[in-house]
Structure 1
Amino acid sequence: MTVKELGKALKDMYKNAPKKEQVTMIHLFGVKYHSEISQAGVREVIEESGIHSTYRTELNKAIKLAKYVRPIEFLK
Protein backbone atom coordinates (compact mmCIF):
# COMPACT_ATOMS: atom_id res chain seq x y z
CA MET A 1 0.00 0.00 0.00
CA THR A 2 1.13 3.54 -0.64
CA VAL A 3 1.35 6.22 2.03
CA LYS A 4 -1.73 7.82 0.50
CA GLU A 5 -3.71 4.55 0.70
CA LEU A 6 -2.58 3.91 4.27
CA GLY A 7 -3.48 7.46 5.26
CA LYS A 8 -6.94 7.11 3.76
CA ALA A 9 -7.50 3.75 5.48
CA LEU A 10 -6.46 5.16 8.85
CA LYS A 11 -8.62 8.24 8.40
CA ASP A 12 -11.62 6.09 7.47
CA MET A 13 -11.16 3.73 10.44
CA TYR A 14 -10.75 6.68 12.82
CA LYS A 15 -13.71 8.66 11.49
CA ASN A 16 -16.04 5.62 11.36
CA ALA A 17 -15.08 4.22 14.77
CA PRO A 18 -17.86 3.57 17.26
CA LYS A 19 -18.24 6.28 19.86
CA LYS A 20 -15.24 6.45 22.22
CA GLU A 21 -13.31 3.80 20.26
CA GLN A 22 -11.21 5.97 17.96
CA VAL A 23 -7.95 5.02 19.67
CA THR A 24 -8.93 1.36 19.51
CA MET A 25 -9.32 1.73 15.76
CA ILE A 26 -5.84 3.28 15.52
CA HIS A 27 -4.50 0.23 17.36
CA LEU A 28 -6.40 -2.14 15.08
CA PHE A 29 -5.09 -0.29 12.03
CA GLY A 30 -1.54 -0.60 13.35
CA VAL A 31 -1.87 -4.32 14.00
CA LYS A 32 -3.52 -4.98 10.65
CA TYR A 33 -1.08 -2.98 8.52
CA HIS A 34 2.08 -3.09 10.66
CA SER A 35 4.49 -4.14 7.93
CA GLU A 36 3.16 -1.64 5.38
CA ILE A 37 3.26 1.18 7.95
CA SER A 38 6.82 0.30 8.94
CA GLN A 39 7.91 0.55 5.31
CA ALA A 40 6.01 3.77 4.62
CA GLY A 41 6.85 5.48 7.91
CA VAL A 42 4.61 6.15 10.87
CA ARG A 43 4.96 9.93 10.69
CA GLU A 44 4.10 9.95 6.98
CA VAL A 45 1.00 7.80 7.45
CA ILE A 46 -0.25 9.95 10.34
CA GLU A 47 0.31 13.15 8.34
CA GLU A 48 -1.47 11.71 5.31
CA SER A 49 -4.45 10.63 7.42
CA GLY A 50 -4.97 14.10 8.84
CA ILE A 51 -5.46 12.87 12.41
CA HIS A 52 -3.60 14.62 15.24
CA SER A 53 0.14 13.96 15.33
CA THR A 54 -0.01 12.87 18.99
CA TYR A 55 -1.59 9.61 17.81
CA ARG A 56 1.81 8.62 16.44
CA THR A 57 2.58 7.12 19.85
CA GLU A 58 -0.54 4.96 19.71
CA LEU A 59 0.29 3.76 16.21
CA ASN A 60 3.82 2.86 17.30
CA LYS A 61 2.40 0.84 20.22
CA ALA A 62 0.11 -1.04 17.84
CA ILE A 63 2.98 -1.88 15.47
CA LYS A 64 4.94 -3.38 18.38
CA LEU A 65 1.85 -5.24 19.58
CA ALA A 66 1.39 -6.81 16.12
CA LYS A 67 4.12 -9.36 16.97
CA TYR A 68 1.78 -10.82 19.58
CA VAL A 69 -1.78 -10.41 18.28
CA ARG A 70 -3.81 -10.81 15.10
CA PRO A 71 -7.06 -9.08 14.21
CA ILE A 72 -10.15 -11.24 13.87
CA GLU A 73 -13.10 -10.70 11.59
CA PHE A 74 -16.46 -10.63 13.31
CA LEU A 75 -19.43 -12.30 11.67
CA LYS A 76 -22.35 -9.96 11.20
Structure 2
Amino acid sequence: MNNRELGGKLREMYTNASKGEAVAMIHLFGIKYAAEINNSECSKKEIIKASGISESYVTELTKGVKLAEYVIPKNQ
Protein backbone atom coordinates (compact mmCIF):
# COMPACT_ATOMS: atom_id res chain seq x y z
CA MET A 1 0.00 0.00 0.00
CA ASN A 2 1.13 3.54 -0.60
CA ASN A 3 0.73 6.53 1.68
CA ARG A 4 -2.44 7.69 -0.10
CA GLU A 5 -4.17 4.33 0.42
CA LEU A 6 -3.04 4.06 4.03
CA GLY A 7 -4.03 7.68 4.66
CA GLY A 8 -7.48 7.00 3.23
CA LYS A 9 -8.03 4.03 5.51
CA LEU A 10 -6.84 6.04 8.51
CA ARG A 11 -9.12 8.96 7.61
CA GLU A 12 -12.07 6.58 7.30
CA MET A 13 -11.42 4.97 10.69
CA TYR A 14 -10.84 8.35 12.36
CA THR A 15 -13.89 10.10 10.93
CA ASN A 16 -16.22 7.14 11.53
CA ALA A 17 -15.13 6.72 15.14
CA SER A 18 -17.70 7.02 17.90
CA LYS A 19 -17.50 10.11 20.08
CA GLY A 20 -14.43 9.86 22.29
CA GLU A 21 -12.94 6.97 20.29
CA ALA A 22 -11.01 8.82 17.57
CA VAL A 23 -7.56 8.42 19.16
CA ALA A 24 -8.28 4.76 19.88
CA MET A 25 -9.06 4.33 16.17
CA ILE A 26 -5.62 5.76 15.31
CA HIS A 27 -4.08 3.17 17.61
CA LEU A 28 -6.23 0.43 16.07
CA PHE A 29 -5.23 1.54 12.58
CA GLY A 30 -1.57 1.25 13.61
CA ILE A 31 -2.20 -2.23 14.99
CA LYS A 32 -4.16 -3.47 11.97
CA TYR A 33 -1.83 -2.05 9.34
CA ALA A 34 1.52 -2.30 11.14
CA ALA A 35 2.99 -4.73 8.61
CA GLU A 36 1.98 -2.55 5.66
CA ILE A 37 3.28 0.58 7.41
CA ASN A 38 6.60 -1.04 8.32
CA ASN A 39 7.05 -2.58 4.86
CA SER A 40 6.13 0.56 2.93
CA GLU A 41 8.47 3.31 1.91
CA CYS A 42 6.13 5.81 3.54
CA SER A 43 6.85 7.47 6.83
CA LYS A 44 4.19 7.63 9.51
CA LYS A 45 4.20 11.40 9.11
CA GLU A 46 3.40 11.04 5.38
CA ILE A 47 0.52 8.69 6.19
CA ILE A 48 -0.92 11.11 8.74
CA LYS A 49 -0.53 13.97 6.26
CA ALA A 50 -2.29 11.95 3.53
CA SER A 51 -5.16 11.23 5.94
CA GLY A 52 -5.83 14.91 6.52
CA ILE A 53 -5.83 14.63 10.31
CA SER A 54 -3.59 16.69 12.57
CA GLU A 55 0.11 15.90 12.24
CA SER A 56 0.31 15.85 16.04
CA TYR A 57 -1.21 12.35 15.85
CA VAL A 58 2.02 10.82 14.51
CA THR A 59 2.86 9.82 18.08
CA GLU A 60 -0.46 7.99 18.43
CA LEU A 61 0.10 6.13 15.16
CA THR A 62 3.58 5.13 16.34
CA LYS A 63 2.07 3.76 19.56
CA GLY A 64 -0.39 1.66 17.56
CA VAL A 65 2.32 0.22 15.34
CA LYS A 66 4.37 -0.72 18.41
CA LEU A 67 1.33 -2.29 20.09
CA ALA A 68 0.84 -4.55 17.07
CA GLU A 69 3.70 -6.67 18.33
CA TYR A 70 1.70 -7.49 21.47
CA VAL A 71 -2.03 -7.41 20.65
CA ILE A 72 -4.58 -8.79 18.20
CA PRO A 73 -7.69 -6.73 17.34
CA LYS A 74 -11.06 -8.20 18.40
CA ASN A 75 -14.17 -8.21 16.19
CA GLN A 76 -12.30 -7.44 13.00
Q: Quick check: TM above 0.5?
A: yes
| Runs of 4 or more above 4 Å deviation | none
Pairwise CA RMSD = 1.0
Query: Is 1:64 equivalent to 2:66 in the alignment?
Result: yes
Match of 2:27 in 1: 27
Query: Any unmatched runs of 5+ in structure 2?
Result: none
Q: Deviations over 1:14-53 (max 9, x none)?
A: 0000001000000000000012112222011001001000
Match of 2:14 in 1: 14
**TM-score with structure 1 setting the length:** 0.91
Query: Any unmatched runs of 5+ in structure 1?
Result: none
- Identical-residue share of aligned pairs (%): 51
- Out of 44, 47, 68, the position equivalent to 1:45 is 47
Aligned length: 74
